[in-house]
Each structure stands twice: as C-alpha cells, then as structure tokens.
Amino acid sequence: MLKFFIKTCLLILFVNVSAQQKNDSIPKDSIVYKTNYGLRLGIDISKPIRSILQDYNSGLEIVGDYRISKKWYAAAELGNEKFTTREDFTNSTSRGSYIKIGLNYNSYKNWLDMNNEIFTGFRYGFATFEQTLNNYQINSNPLLPALINNVPITVKGLTAHWSELVLGFRAEVYPNIFLTFSGSYKIMVSLNDPVNFKTHYAPGFNRVYTSNTGFGFNYTISYLIPFRKK
C-alpha cells in the first residue's frame, strides 16, 4: 500500500512538471489594450430642450472631466439659469450662474478597448444669483378681494453653497463621442434669502424645498480630446 501511494505521488508530480513545462513553452498574448486619457468637454442637452418646451425655464450648462487615473476623473460643470416659480400667492424669478467641481469614480470594468462608465461622484456647488419677486398677493383671505402688488422687487448678490452625490452611466457611441445620463441628490449647505421672502429656486441646485434637499438630472453629449494612451 505504501509503495502504491509513493508511485501515485511521483506520477502526479511528473504530470504537473510536464504540464508546467508545456505551458511555459506556449507564447503568451502580448497585446495590451490602451485607453485614451484627455479632456472631455460637452453640453447638457436637456437644458436647451426644456428652454424650448417651458417658457418659464431657460439655461445652458457646459460639462467637462479629465481622466487622472484608470478609475478616477476630475469633473466640473459650469452653467447659467433663469427660472420662474409660480406659487399660490407669489411669482418670482431666479437668474444667475453656478459652478460645480468634484470627482467621479468609474466602477465599470470594460472589455478590451471599450471605454464605457458606470460612475459615482461627489460635487461641491456654488451659485451667485439674483431673485426678483414679480408679483405677490397681499390679502390671502378668500372672503375678501385679492390685492396684488405687481411692482417687481429685485435683490442681487445672493449666493448658495451645496454638495451633491452623483450616479451616472456613460457610453461611447462613436470614437471619442459619449452620451451620459446622470442623477444627483443635493444637500444645501448655505443659502441667502431676500428680506421677508424665501428663495424658491437656486441656479444649479434647482428647486429649494423646506428640507434643504433636492434632485437633479442631466443628459449630456461630449467629445474626448485625447492627449495620450495608457
């Protein structure tokens, strides 16, 4: 029995050594797939579409990111918005500019030379804007005639600071041309309100609710300017 066990071990060892030598003699695949590193610039096409369909909403947003490693991208958005909010007793318009900067992390593992993304990210947002109270109803008692003040009141120099958590999907539809859909959850950190009136909309943040949180969606088309392959 001992002799049989020893012979079996020697046979297994011989087979393993022979297989290893055979594998070492097979040339390995030397093809290495490299991807483009560079600056990607684009536009959020949802905003011009909303500007056409909604007379109370207009804006433009430029988006960009720069690949700093295999998985990480530095990202930024720069835009301008004008939005009119209609409430039961007030009508107000916010207009101004904003910038959002942060990072994206791509968790998608591409095949071969594909360059798609499923990414999560973080943004810090800052906006400077003005708020115009277009008109407001002075008497809200339904038993009395409504008194409406139509003299606009504009307050300039307002600011907003917020943070965003971002989740998105990006696909390369043609070489260096990308379509992206993303959503964001926003948390207001600091917001200026006019005296005796609340800001209902902040450019870049969107609608401001009492919880100081909000949501946003973007649909962008962008082009990658490749600087190098890695």
pLDDT digits (tens, 9 = 90+) for 33-61: 678 889 999 999 999 998 898 888 999 99
| 3-class SS of residue 152 | coil
pLDDT of residue 141: 63
pLDDT of residue 89: 82
Above 70 in pLDDT, residue 26? no
Above 60 in pLDDT, residue 28? no
pLDDT of residue 87: 84
Which of 2.30.40.10, 1.20.58.220, 3.40.1160.10, 2.40.160.20 would CATH assign to domain 35-229? 2.40.160.20
pTM for the full model? 0.80
Which residues, including other chains, have CB under 8 Å from residue 165's CB and lie 6 or more apart?
A: 120, 121, 122, 184, 185
The residue ranges of every structural domain in the chain are: 35-229
Question: Going by DSSP bridges, is the β-strand pair 148-149/153-174 parallel, antiparallel, or unpaired?
Answer: unpaired
C-alpha to C-alpha distance for 91 and 196, rounded to whole angstroms: 14
